[in-house]
Amino acid sequence: MIRWLALMILLALPAHGEEVLADLSQNRVSITANFDGSEILIFGAVKRETPIPRDGGQLEVLITVAGPSVPVTVRRKAKWNGLIWINTEAVEVDSAPSFYKVATSGPFNEVLKDTEDLRHKVSIERAIRSVGAPMTVADAASFTDALIRIRKHENLYQEQPNAVIVNEQTLFRTSVALPSNLTEGNYTARIFLTRDGRVVDVHETVIYVQKVGLERFLYNLAHERPLVYGILSLVIAISAGWTASAVFRYLRS
């Protein structure tokens, strides 16, 4: 009886006919004083226990890289008396990734169905969580749209259809360009296999982004000893001003 129940449970489990095997060219990014961005190659293969399905649609690959998610306050400005710009309304977005990239092997709406996007939160719009808008704000969705627009302009949110190369429905690769204005933290890379717009398998890994050297020292000093950091900044500013003044007086004499 126990064996029969165990067999029934195994039969009820989903079959993993295709699985992702993936790796990164590097999983650590160091932010230094002269950091101007980095590029990571994501590559892999599809592991199969059976031949390639012929009736399940074309195999597609979708890759996302997401930075740490934090709350963001988005403000709307308007002219007061036609003279100066002031903040009029504000909406706090509950959670928005500091960096987000979506790369696909084809057009997004063909690679992933909307129901699957809703389930896995793949697209930029679904990766952002905003549910606590004030009742006084009628068009709260426009604040999220503005956040996406601003971060796309800053190259922090990226969409790249047809950027993932798939060979023989088995091998895949793409490159992810990380901009210079990265936020420190753990970045999550997800690789999705899809057929007919439905997710077949998902692989997840982490990219560690951290400040090193002088950047790390100043960051720790500012957060752990803000008084010392403030005094040091003041001393450096005064010294720089005095040195510039002395050089100017010397050149004039």
CA distances from 216 to 30, 35, 235 (A): 10, 13, 20
- Same domain? 116 vs 205: yes
Question: Is the predicted pLDDT of residue 79 greater than 70, yes or no?
Answer: no
What local confidence, expressed as pLDDT, does residue 252 receive?
72
* Residue span of the structural domain in which 159 resides: 18-211
Span 172-187, pLDDT tens digits: 999 999 998 888 899 9
In this structure, the answer to whether residues 146 and 198 fall within a common structural domain is: yes
pLDDT tens digits for 95-122?
Answer: 899 999 999 999 999 999 999 999 999 9
Residue 80 falls inside a structural domain? yes
Q: Mean pLDDT over residues 137-153, rounded?
A: 83
Q: Is the dihedral of CA 97, 99, 103, 109 positive or negative?
A: positive
Note whether 38 and 120 are same-domain residues. Answer: yes
Is the same domain home to 29 and 133?
Answer: yes
User: Average pLDDT, stretch 150-164?
Assistant: 94
Decide which of 106 and 11 is more confident. Answer: 106
Integer Cα distance of 205 and 7 in angstroms: 32
Alpha helices, DSSP H only, in 96-213?
Answer: 108-111, 114-120, 124-127, 141-153
The token pair at 79 is 């002219």
Given strand 171-178, what is the order of strands in its sheet? 18-24, 38-48, 171-178, 165-167
Same domain for 206 and 235? Answer: no
- Whether 192 and 69 share a structural domain: yes
In this structure, the answer to whether residues 252 and 167 fall within a common structural domain is no
pLDDT digits (tens, 9 = 90+) for 188-232: 999 999 999 999 999 999 999 987 655 555 666 566 667 766 776
For the full predicted model, state whether its pTM sits above 0.85. no
Q: What is the DSSP letter of 50?
A: S
Instruction: Give tens-digit pLDDT for 58-73.
Output: 899 999 999 999 888 8
pLDDT of residue 5: 42
Q: Are residues 54 and 149 in the same domain?
A: yes
Number of domains in the chain: 2
Assess whether 161 and 150 both reside in one domain: yes
Instruction: Please indicate, yes or no, if residue 221 is contained in any of the structural domains.
Output: yes
Q: Which residue has the higher pLDDT, 48 or 42?
A: 42
3-state secondary structure of 37: coil
Do 143 and 85 belong to one domain? yes
CATH of the domain at 46: 2.60.40.1930
Q: Hey, what are 214's tokens? A: 């002088």
Residue 169 and residue 228 in one domain: no
One domain for residues 143 and 253: no
